[in-house]
Amino acid sequence: MLGRLAEGELTVGELAEPLTMSLAAASKHIQVLERAGLVGRTVAGRRHVCHLEAAPLASAAAWLDVYERFWEERLDALEALFQDGAHTDEETTP
C-alpha cells in the first residue's frame, strides 16, 4: 500500500482493489498505517482519499542507514577474512 501511495493519492477502494483481501480488511490495514503516522486520509463525503506521510519513513531510513554502515563494515571484514583464508589455502596446497 505504501508503495502505491508513493506514486500518488488513492481512495480506500483503489488501494484495496488489487489486494486479495476484503475492503473491510484493507480499511483496517489503512487505519493501522494511519495510527503509525505513515498514511493520511482526507474525507470528502463518502470518498476517503489516502496519501503517504513520508516524514516517518525518512526517520526510519536515517536509523537504518546507521546500521547499514555498521553491517557493511562487518561484512567487508568477514569477506577479507575469507579471501585471506583462500589465499593461504592456495599457498599450502601442493
For 30-85, the pLDDT digits (tens) are 999 999 999 999 998 999 999 999 888 888 888 888 888 888 889 999 999 888 87
d(CA 77, CA 73): 6
* pTM, to two decimals: 0.64
Strand 39-44, strand 10-11: pairing = unpaired
pLDDT surpassing 70 at residue 94:
no
User: What's residue 6's pLDDT?
Assistant: 93
Q: What is the mean pLDDT of the segment spanning 2-16?
A: 93
2-52: CATH, from 3.40.50.2000, 1.10.260.40, 1.10.10.10, 3.40.50.10860: 1.10.10.10
Provide the 3-class DSSP secondary structure of residue 41.
strand
Enumerate the domain spans of the chain. 2-52, 55-94
